[in-house]
Every structure is written in structure tokens, then in C-alpha cells.
Structure 1
Amino acid sequence: MGFANDLQGFQSHDALLNVQDAEIELLEHIRRCVQIKVKADREYSLAMTSMFAQAGRLESSTEELRGSLIKQAWDTVVETTETIGRVVRQNADFLATNTLESITNLILEKKALRKVYTEEHHRIHDELTRLREDVFRIKAEYERCVEAANESRVKYEEALSKNESAAAKPRKLDDLKDRFFKNSRRLHQVHNEYVLMLNEAMQYEKHLRTILLPDLLECQESALREALETWQGVMREVVERIDFCAEGFQATHGKLSYALSIIDPDKEYKAFLDEHRSNPPQWMDFAIPSPLQNTQLGKYEGTLRPDRIAVDDLTIHDVRNSELAKRRAVDHVKRDRDEMKCLYDRLSYQLALLVGALSEVDPNNAPRALNIAEAPSPSAMTVNPNIALQDEEWFHGVLPREEVVRLLVNEGDYLVRETTRNEERQIVLSVKWNGHKHFIIQQTPEHKFRFEGSAFDTIQELIVYQHHSELPVTIKSGAILYNPIFRERWELNNDDVQLIEKIGRGNFGDVYRAILHPKRMNVAVKTCRVNLPEEQKKKFLSEGRILKQYDHPNIVRLVGICVQKQPIMIVMELVPGGSLLNYLRRDGQRLPTRTLVSMCLDCAAGMAYLESKGCIHRDLAARNCLVGLNDEVKISDFGMSREEQEYVVSDGMKQIPIKWTAPEALHYGKYTSMCDVWSFGVLIWEIFSLGQAPYAGLSNTKAREKIDQGYRLPAPERIPSPVYQLTLRCWEYTPERRPHFDEIHKLLLNVFKHL
């Protein structure tokens, strides 16, 4: 019996968090009670001292009562009272200085223990979720490759079978053959990726169940048991301070001592385990039929075999490259084997697969992969009418019209969305046909749906009919539905986002801490107010569109967007430390200079990445950076960003952060990456001034004038001289004289290494 074996289920995980919360609450209750006792004992001791002083004032009849037995008895009572008061005071002082401090430390330790456990539990399960998503992503690509290879194969064979036509048009035949070989080569590459990814997912799940999760639970159980022993000692101190050896006190103390003596760490969690014991979650079924065997994609009769690496003239170089990559990965993991043993086992097994496959063939004479034969035509694309509207891949929820225009590119592209007009919910069909056209789906009195022709019971049936019939949606428009545009993979379902608590407020709405189901992932969610104009909603979604293409450890990561219904939401990774500005103001005094330089280095790395992608942030400041684990800084808030090498503002200077903005942007509205470099200099100043406001005491206009006159912010007290010299270079009035972010990163890295 133990945590590692009995608490692997998610219900048990929630119960374990709840019991830790309850223990912390109990400790806080004990602390409050001890504080009340200390106050009461001190007041009691003060009263006893006052009584002793009052008794000592009896002087007028001292001579008369000399030798009196009753006077002697009273003196004994007074002396005993004074002794009791002194002992009570000593006990109260001990509880105040020692016991309360121990209780406070224990509360902090248990909170930290719970936080570490929660983060580790999320981390190892998030990795499994990521691998599972990668498996299905590659599987989907695998299916597309099988379908494409079969289709190109059929076309080639048909052209080849027509000998006369082939002789007349050799160029067309060569094009078909070349397309067939390209599709086949891609199929073989994806096949190998699929086999490796499937193996990696299965290996990781095995390690999670047998090593990672049991080790985490065992560590948590051990830490809880140690905390319980400390807790027992604290309570023993409290009990010892109320033992006055009187019969009544002794009886009470006996009961308390007995109650303490029966505390046994080995039995403390027995009832909890009995109540919350659960079976481990069912194993995920990775016995997925190979796309090669899916007849709906077309019959495949090549040399590929499920779960086998294909080594032939199409893949020999790729397999060799894969082998080399895995060898390097294995060598890297060996340097940190204790921490990364699971990853080492995973990659070693994959290496064995590759080496085994290569050893079975002659690398200079790889077997042919294709044996061209007749194959049936691929099945036609269909739209499923038997699921709910909101679950259809071509239904995009409350996606704004501007986003719809971006998605519909070719003639005949279409999607269905929801809109609100005069507080009435309407379903709209959007089509690219001689421009972008939007048709409101009409509802008849019989609750059926139509455009101009026949009415149908459901919107799905109406759309499927229009798609297959290839009839115009309306006679006037002539728009025909050819190609449904499916939701992008990062479009999430609103119902999967559970808002927990409000943690901030942005330009477009509130920011929440939330849980993303079914992954149970902690995320940050930006919401867009329902009553904002369409133009504002477009700007709100532009941040998500920019973030989705970036992947860097110092850029906040986009999880997805929610546009199925109101409110529209952007879902991002949750960065636990919050705003860099607030963090510096709250905890900056304890941060060493090396950490402050490291923060600047993180920001420079993120901005160098953005500059390489042609992205201008336009609002770089400490308030728009977030602090993660180990004081790692991430760039956030891309609401004003632009993906252009140069951007000119033409709508005035509203919402421009004047004191962070470069002079050329203020004067001419011209933005480049060099403007971000200027803002980065102000950010460095904010970091080393521990969150002070730049140009304090100056209005925006006055600060702008002084900058034009050559004034620059003075060096903060803790900034190293090389870093301040770099800051002054960032504030060069001429943009061309400022350093680029890759140079800034190198200079900061050099300073960091010498600290």
C-alpha cells in the first residue's frame, strides 16, 4: 500500500491535492489558535502581576499581623500566584518566538511541496498529451500521403496503358511519373516518421506509468510523512506549555499526551488511501490500423509494411540521416543519464530499429520500393451530415468577417459561421466567388433551412446538398460550393475552456487563469468583450495569428483560439510569475545582478527571434513581459505587433507608449526593428532600476522634448558598466547606429559569462 501504487488515477490526484489543501487550512487554523492563546496568556500573566503588586501594598497592619497563620497563608498564595504568572509568561513567550515560527515555516513548506507536485504532475502528463497529438497529426498526414500516392499512381498507369497517347505526349507522361515518384517518396518518409513517433509515444507512456508517475508519488508521500513528523513536534510543544502538574491539568495533559502518542506517520494516510483508492487509467489504445490498410484511401500494394522501416532507393539517405540524428541524440542523453534515463531508453530503442533495418539491406543496392500495378480510384470527398453543427469541421463559430476573408482564398471555397445582428443569432454561409459573398441561412415557419431552393431539416443537410449538387446558392450570385474550409488545428472549443480566476485586464477584455480540457492543462486566457466593434475583434485575433507561428522559449506560447461562440478567447501558456514589472517591484531587491542580466539576456533572445521573423513588437516594456520558472522571462502582449520590415502609422498616436517609443516613430510614425531596440534599452533600464517608471516626474511631451535635446536616462545603481554602454547604443538618435538584437544578445551573453 502506498501513493505510488494506489494514487495513479486523476481522481486520486485531485483527492491528493484536496487533502494537502485541507492540511494547510488546518495548520493555519492551529496558528490562529496559538496566537489567541499567546495573547490570552500574556494578559493573564499581566493580571497576576497586578494582583501581586496590589497584595504587596498591605503595610498598615503588618506589625499587628506578625505571626498570624492566616497572614502567612495569604503570603504563600500571593507568592504562588506570582510564580504562576511568571511561568505563564515564559510559556507564552516560547510559543510566540519558537512554536509560531515553526508553524509558519511548516505552512510555507507544505505550500511549496504542493506547488512542485502539481507542476511536475502537469509536466509529465502534458508530454504524453503532446506525443499523442503528434501521433494523430502524423497519422493524418500519413493518410493524405497514401491517398496522394495511390491517386498519382492510378493517373500514371492510365496514361501508360494508352500507348498511343503516351507516345504522342511523352512530356505529360514524364510529369505524371515524376509526380508519382515524388508522392511515393514523401509517403515513405512519413511512414518512417509515423513508426518512430508511434514507438516514442508507447515508450513514454510505459515510462510514465512505471517510473515517472510512481517516483513522483513516492517522493510526495515521503515529503508528506516528513512534514507530519515536524507537525507532531510542533503540537507537542504546545501541549507541554499547558502542563502545570495540577490534578486537573494532569488529567487533561494525559489525554493530550495519549492523543499525540497515537500519531503514527505509517498509519496517517491509511483511511485516505482506502477512501480514494482508484485503478490506473485505462491504457490508451495505440493499436491503430495502418493507413496502408485503409481501403477508403485506396488499395495500396507497394513494398511498405506496417510497423516496419522502409529502406530502399527512395529512403536510404533519409534513414541514414535519421540514424545519425538518433546516434547524436543518444550520445547527448548519456551525459545526463540520471535525470533523462527515460528519454535515453526511448531513443536507444529507435536507434536499434534504424540500425536493424539498415543491416538487412545492402546500402549500395537498396531494394526497389514500388511495384506499379493497377489500383482503384481514390474515394471522393464527402461531408458528414450526421453530427451536430458546432462539431462540423467547416463550422467556424463566431469568427469575424475579416478572418473569414483571410481563409477563403480560391473560387468555391466556403465555410459556415455564426453572427449576431440586432441581438439575433444568425447562421451565415461565406463563399469566395467573384469576391467574398455572405448568405444568411433562412429558417422557414416549419423550422427548416433554405436559401432559394428546397428546404432541409438541418443546416448540415442543406450544406451537403449544395456541395454535391453544385447548384448556385442563389441565382443572382451564381456562387457554387466546391471546397469546404475546415477549422485550423489551433481553433479550440469554447466549452473546453474552464475559467478559474481573473488575473488581469487587457485592452480588449479580462485575462483569466483557466483549465483546458480534456488535457487538464493550466492556461492563461485573454477574452474579448462581446460588445466590441468588428474592427477591434479583428485586432484582438491578430495577436493569436501572430503568436501561432512562433516557437521560442522566450516568447509566450499560443495554445489556440476559441471562436465557436462568444466571448472570443485567446488561449496561451500560463506563465506563473506574472508581469515582469510587478515581479521587479515586489521581489527585485532579493535578485542578484547576475539574475537581472539573465533577464535582459532572455528578452534579447526573444526579440532576436522576432527580428529574424520580420516582426515589429511596438510595445516592448517590462509590463508586457512575463516571468516563468527560475526567473525566465518571456515576451508577451503582441496586440500592437506588425509582421512587416517597416510599418507606418497613419491613424494618429493613440495608445502609443510615448516614453518607450523611438523618436522616429513619434515624429514620423515610422516603425522598424530599430524602434524595438530603443524600447529594449528602456526595458534594460526598468530591469536594473527594479521597476521604476522611466522619466519620472516628466510629462510625455516634456520627456519627448528632452530626448530630442540629447537627454538620456541615467545609469541605475546596480547596472554593470558594459550593460549601460549597450543601453546608450540602443538610444542612439539615428536608427542605423543602433545594434541589432543578435548583436545585443552576444554582448549580454559575454557580460553574463564574466559575472
Structure 2
Amino acid sequence: MGFGGDLKYSHDALLKLQDWELRLLETVKKFMVMRVKSDKEYASTLQNLCNQVDKESACQLDYISNVSKSWLLVVQQTEQLSKIMKTHAEDLNSGPLHRLTMMIKDKQQVKKNFIGVHQQIEAEMYKVTKTELEKLKSSYRQLIKEVNSAKEKYKEAVAKGRETEKAKDRCEKATMKLHMLHNQYVLALKGAQLHQHQYYDTTLPLLLDSLQKMQEEMIKALKGILDEYSEITSLVTEEIVNVHKEIQTSVEQIDPNSEYNDFIDTHRSSEVIEQEIEFDTSLLEENENLQANEIMWNNLTAESLQVMLKTVIEELMQTQQTLLSKEELVLELEKKIEESSKTCEKKSDIVLLLSQKQALEELKQTVQQLRCSEAKFAAQKELLEQKVQENDGKEPPPVVNYEEDARSVTSMDKKDKVSRFDTIRHSIAGIIRSPKSMLGSSSFFDVISTTEKPLSEQDWYHGAIPRIEAQELLKQQGDFLVRESHGKPGEYVLSVFSDGQRRHFIIQYADNQYRFEGTGFPTIPQLIEHHYTTKQVITKKSGVVLLNPVVKDKKWVLNHEDVTLGELLGKGNFGEVYKGTLKDKTPVAVKTCKEDLPQELKIKFLSEARILKQYDHPNIVKLIGVCTQRQPIYIVMELVPGGDFLSFLRKKKDELKTKQLVKFSLDAASGMAYLESKNCIHRSGHCEDNL
């Protein structure tokens, strides 16, 4: 039973324990100060009594009686008792009280050092497992965009036949930066994983065990102080002897080894399985060439890998040298403390060694941190060496076949798209006015009448929903939908469930035609309708066939044109919140999502709408709909005229009656009870009501 194994998640309880013990020591010190003062005052009072008696004796009769002899003996013994009490008070002040004062300072320092080291390793843990990874991930996403942009420009150059080599060079440089950053991210991830394991398995338990060790040492020192206090203050009278026997008995019951057993049992940490740090696969959504947890070795990274390996080896050697010197210092300090312990004459003299023992524990903590760094560098070295040795003597492969990439995608201007849609609608209108002369069958007429609707009105078009949400909608063989790409706004993607996999195909646009690899069509609806009705494969390589269009939930779908934004109400976690109006003049609240937010935050934004769809209660703000046909995405909700409940209460606190407050409480409780019945945890710091 110990701190390291049982109190990993009880940091607050440990701080409270140390505060309680410091208050206890201050109480013991205050008691001893008062005892020294009272003993001195008592000795002084006895001496004054004796002096007064002597003065009064001078006025008495000249003869000496037996009574006066006895009385004189009483006075003499009282004066001797005064001297004994004064000596005891001085011994108590210079002995136990002085050592207790030193111990309180040491204990305050132990607490301060523990908090400092804990904050340091916590900060390092957060830095390695959160801050540094998030920074790399942010750069990762930026470089993905730069690579894709460079590829687009290269393809444009190829299409135009101008400056292709210059565009290709930029594309290579952007790709090299991405791959090098990918390697840094993989290495940092490996280091973070090891750091996390070291933190919970070794570093934090070692810190807690060192704290327990110092706590137990101080309990041992306190026991010595109280033992000495008992000896000094013990007198020979039967009543006092009985009192001090009780004190001595209680002191003997102090056992540093079992002192914290009850505390540990009360605050034992529950078992928590720490989530393993893993490669963020969302980084790879827009690039299929990179592999999670895999070092990339190619013509762009081969040289940098050698440099990385050399740097890691140097850092590993330096860490190992520092670790060796620190371990030697630990052995020297342990030997010094052991020798000093043998020279302690009294039990309370152990207080004099506490500062050295604290220094030893801090040194051990430094050694543990160095071992963690050593393990991290060793793992990174192994990862790099394995990749370098696997490809020793081989020619690094090229990264991209630029000619094939150039033929695959051509960018499209949004304004051109709008004008082309208008032209298409006019041509279709002409066809519908002469169905018998221009169309061969009623079934084909049905197809055209469906494809005449613009893309945004097609049932299978889901707008700017995230890739992950689109994948959740695809459940059966042949399920398909079309969405706007999150990574490249203005570009459209066909998402299909085929052979147990969710596949995503960029809809190509070139020469005023939309296509995959075969026949082109002037609009996306016509392209999709062609593949859906003819069951022609999307690409020969994939063999994917469209069988079941996934229809969007029209109950909740709104167009951006259906909502008019008004005044700014505030800012949320994902963007601004506006007061708005629907076409039927219904006032609403509109939450907007920033277009430049990371993919995972956009997913969280829309997940709020999915959750609200499930709720229908008079005391819960209602979802009216979502606008996902284009960006920015809107969540349209019921407008609460009174604003948030907390601000309302603060503003109207002097006007509200008890009956109103009770009604508010009932409404809030009703809403929260409803959420609880739906297994929902409300994360906000205040609730909202229909005010």
C-alpha cells in the first residue's frame, strides 16, 4: 500500500493532507510555546511566593518553632521546584520546540517542492502529448493544403502548357515539406506515447512514493520530538506521572509505516484506463499517399532521415552521459545520509537530515525524467534505423507521377459554375416544352424532369457535411450521396458504400463537362442520374455501382436563403451566434461555424444538431433546422427572448418574487430531468429557460 500505486489521481487530496498536517504541526508548536511560557510563569510565580514569604518571615517572632521549620522547608522546596520548572522550560524551548520549528519549515518546503515538481512533470506531459502534437497537426493540415494547392497549380500549368517545370518544382518542394513534417509527427507521436506510459507507470508513482517517504520521515521526526517533550515535562508526582504515562503511551502508538493507511483507503484512486495516444488519421483524409505511424522514405526524405538519425543518436548519447552522472550523485548522497544518521544522538535529531533527504528525492526525480528521455530517444532511433537499414543501398523511389495527377483533376471557378447552371436550366426547359418531339420514352422524360432541379435541391445532395458524417450515412452496398468537399470548397465528392468500404470520388470538371473517367455531362445531377439509371461503374478500377441514393433528412434541412441574419448575440465555441428571421417571420437564433475551423471541430459542431434532433420538451431549446448546402454551416434554433438564465437572474434579482423563482427552479429541474432520461450530460455552466 503506497502513494505511487494507489494515489495517482488523488493530487487534491494529497495537498489537503499536507495542509492538514501543517496545521497540526502549528497547533503542536503553539501548544509547546504556551507550555514554555506557562512553565516559566509558574516558576517565576513560585519564586515570587518564596521571596514574599521571606520578607514576611522577617517580621515574625524571634523564636523558632517546629511549625516554622516545616514551613521553611516547604518554602525551600518550593524555591527548588521553581528552579527545576525554569530549567525544564529552557530545555523544552531549546530542544523539542526549536526542532519542531525547523520541521515545519522543512515540511513547507517539501510541499512546495512537491507542487513544483508535479506542475513541472504535468506541464511536460501536456507539452509532449498535447501542445507539441497539436502544433505539428496544425502544420500538417496547412502543408496538406499547400500540397493540394501546388498540385492544382501544376495541373493547371500542364493543362495550359506553360511553366510546367516551375509548377512541378513547387509541388515537389511542398510535398517534401509535408513528408518531412509527417516524419516529425510520427517521431513525436512515438515519443509522446512513451512519455505518457513513463509518466503514469514510473514518473508520477516515483514522485508520489518520494513524497510518502518524506512524509514518513517527518512522522518519524515528530515522534522523536514528542518523545523528548514527554521526557522533559515529566514530573515525579503520582498524578503527573499518570498523565505522562498516558502521553507516552499515545506517542508510542505513532508508526510512520502505518500512519497513512486510513488516508490511502479513504482516497484510493479508482482505476482509470488512460487513452492511448494514436496517430490522428483525420490528417490523411485528403492525402492517400501517407501512412499512419510509418516513416516515409523516398527521394524527398531520404537525406533528411539520415540527418534525423544522426541528431537522435547525439541526443541519446548526451542524455545517457547526464543520466550516468546523476546516478553517481544519488549514490554519493545516499551514503552521506546513511553516515549522518549513525551520529544522531536523539530521535528528534533526524529533523537535521530532512533537507538532505529532500534533495535526494529531487535528484531521484531528475534521474527518472532522464530515463524517460533516454527511452524516448532510443525508440525514435530504432524507428529511424529500421527504415534506413531496410532501404540501405536502394534508390529512393519518386513520390508522385505528375502526368497522371495532371490528367485527373482540373480546378473550377465558382462564378463559371453558376452561369453554366443557368444555361443548363434554360436548355432543359426547352426540352420539357416539346417532350414528344424530342424524347423517346416517358421514363427518359422522368429522368430529365428530375435532373432539371439544381444540385442543391437534389435529395441525394447533402451539402457541406464532413467526410466522417457522410460515411456514417452509408450503410449498405451501393448507398451513395454527393457532398461538397471540406478540404476544397467548391469541389464536389461522390461518397459510396461498396464491398464493405466507404469510397470517395472527386467529381472531375474539364471542358465544361462533369465526369469520373467516362462520358461527361453538363451538370452533376445528369452525371449522377446517368450512372444511377445505367448502373455503369464509376471507374473501371473501382467497379463501384450506384444502387441506393441516401436521401437527406428534409425535416431539418433549410436553405441559407431561408434565414436572414440580424444582430450579433455573441460568440460560441465554433463561431458567431446571430439573431435571425425565417421566411415566415419566425424569430430564431443562428449558430454559425467558421469556415477555417479544423475538420474535427466542424464535426463536433454538427453533432450538436444531431443530438438536439432527439429532444422535444417545453424547457429545452428546440432545434429548427440546419443549413449545410454551402458554407458557412448554420444551426438554426429556437430564440430565447430572455437570454441566458444566469444573466437574467443577475439583472432581475431585485424584481423577482419567491413564487417566480420557485417556478424557474421547477422548469429548470424539469428540463434537466428530461435530459437525464435521455442519458444526456449538460456541459454548460448555466441553463436556459423560456423567459
Q: TM-score, normalised by structure 1?
A: 0.48
Q: Pairwise mapping of residues 185-204 of structure 1 onto structure 2 (< 5 A)? A: 185-204=176-195
Corresponding residue number in structure 2 for 1:733: none
Indicate the residue corresponding to 2:132 in structure 1.
Answer: 134
Please give the alpha-carbon distance, in whole angstroms, between the structure 1 residues aligned to 2:281 and 2:465. 23
1:307 paired to 2:307:
no
Whether 1:457 and 2:588 are equivalent positions in the alignment is yes
Q: Does the residue aligned with 2:292 lie in a helix, a strand or coil?
A: coil
**2:196 aligned with 1:205, yes or no?**
yes
Cα separation, 1, equivalents of 2:253 and 2:584: 82
Distance 1:233 1:365 in 2: 74
- Residue 324 (structure 1) aligned to one of 289, 295, 310: 310
What SS does structure 2 have at the residue aligned with 1:457?
Answer: strand
- How far apart are the structure 2 equivalents of 1:39 and 1:348? 63
Q: Distance in 1 between the 2:584 and 2:152 partners?
A: 38
Q: What residue in structure 1 maps to residue 19 of structure 2?
A: 21
Contact 2:313–2:381 (Cα < 8 Å) also in 1:
yes
Change (3 A) 1:232 1:329: same
Task: Quote the residue 1:287 is aligned against.
Answer: 278
Gap change, CA 1:377 and 1:93, over 3 Å in 2: farther
SS of alignment partner, residue 214 of structure 1: helix
CA–CA separation in structure 1 for the residues paired with 2:593 and 2:278: 37
Q: Does 1:358 align with 2:395?
A: no
Instruction: Find the counterpart in structure 1 of residue 2 from structure 2.
Output: 2
Letter in 2 for 1:314: L
Q: Who is 1:100 aligned against?
A: 97
Other structure's SS at 2:64 match: coil
SS of the aligned residue for 1:460 comes to: strand
Where 1:64 maps in the other structure, the secondary structure is coil
| Shift of residue 149, structure 1, vs aligned partner | 2.7
The 1:342–1:377 alpha-carbon spacing in structure 2 relative to 1, beyond 3 Å, is: farther
Equivalent residue number for residue 74 of structure 1? 71
Counterpart of 1:334 in structure 2 is 320
How far residue 157 of structure 1 moved from its aligned partner, in angstroms, is: 4.7
Give the letter aligned to residue 79 of structure 1.
Q
Give the counterpart of 2:80 among 73, 80, 83: 83
For the residue of structure 1 that corresponds to 2:322, the secondary structure is coil
Q: Give, in whole Å, the separation in 1 of the partners of 2:410 and 2:99.
A: 76
Alignment correspondent of 2:606: none
Map 1:175-254 to 2 at 5 A.
Answer: 175-254=166-245
Provide the residue aligned with 2:251 in structure 1.
260
Q: Is the 8 A contact 1:34 1:100 kept in 2?
A: yes
Instruction: Find the counterpart in structure 2 of residue 114 from structure 1.
Output: 111
Identify the match of residue 376 of structure 2 among 346, 359, 374: 346
Q: State the match for 1:65 in structure 2.
A: 64
Letter in 2 for 1:457: V
Q: In the alignment, which residue of structure 2 is the partner of 1:43?
A: 41
2:151 counterpart residue number: 153
Amino acid at match of 2:306: R
SS at match of 1:458: strand
Give the Å deviation of 1:88: 1.0
Offset, 1:46: 1.2
Tell me the secondary structure at the aligned position of residue 268 of structure 1: coil
1:170 aligns with 2:302: no
Query: CA offset at residue 33 of structure 1?
Result: 1.9
CA gap of 1:39–1:204, structure 2 versus 1, over 3 A, is same
CA contact (8 A) 2:577 2:590 kept: no
C-alpha distance 55-292 of structure 1, shift in aligned 2 (>3 A): closer
Letter in 1 for 2:64: L
Q: Residue 31 of structure 1 is aligned with which of 29, 32, 43?
A: 29
Are the aligned partners of 1:147 and 1:378 in contact in 2 as well (CA < 8 Å)? no
Aligned in 2, Cα 1:308/1:25: closer, same or farther, shift over 3 Å?
same
Aligned-pair CA distance for 1:371: 4.3
Partner Cα distance (1:221, 1:307) in 2: 39
Instruction: Give per-residue Cα distances to partners, 1:50-77, cap 9 Å, x unaligned.
Output: 22223334246565334x2x33332332
What is the deviation of 1:461? 4.5
Give the number of the structure whose residues are more often helix, by fraction: 2
Residues 451-481 of structure 1 deviation map (CA, whole Å, 9 limit, x = unaligned): x9999733535998xxxxxxxxxxxxxxxx9
Percent of pairs with identical residues:
23
**CA shift in 2, pair 1:237/1:211, >3 Å:** same
- The aligned length equals 397
Return the TM-score normalized by structure 2.
Answer: 0.52
In structure 1, stretches of 5+ residues that fail to align are 385-424, 430-440, 465-480, 485-755
* Shift in Å, 1:120: 0.4
Is the Cα–Cα contact under 8 Å of residues 155 and 409 in structure 2 kept in the other structure?
Answer: no
In the other structure, the counterpart of 2:604 is: none
Where does structure 2 lack aligned partners over 5 or more consecutive residues? 328-366, 415-462, 467-566, 596-629, 634-691
Do 1:323 and 1:351's aligned partners in 2 also have CA atoms closer than 8 Å? yes
Structure-1 separation of matches of 2:411 and 2:41: 90
Q: Is the 8 A contact 1:149 1:187 kept in 2?
A: yes
Determine if contact 1:31/1:104 at 8 Å carries over to the other structure: yes
1:378-397 alignment, distance < 5 Å? none
Q: Is the 8 A contact 1:8 1:280 kept in 2?
A: no
Instruction: Give the Å deviation of 1:195.
Output: 0.2
1:34–1:463 CA distance, 2 compared to 1 (3 A): closer
How far did residue 364 of structure 1 move? 6.0
Q: Once the two structures are superposed, what CA deviation does each residue of 1:248-307 show, in whole Å capped at 9, x if it has no partner?
A: 11111111111111011111111111111113654134234424642xx3x52x3x3221
**CA 1:283–1:462 in structure 2 vs 1: closer, same or farther (change >3 Å)?**
closer
Tell me which amino acid in the other structure corresponds to 1:47.
Answer: T
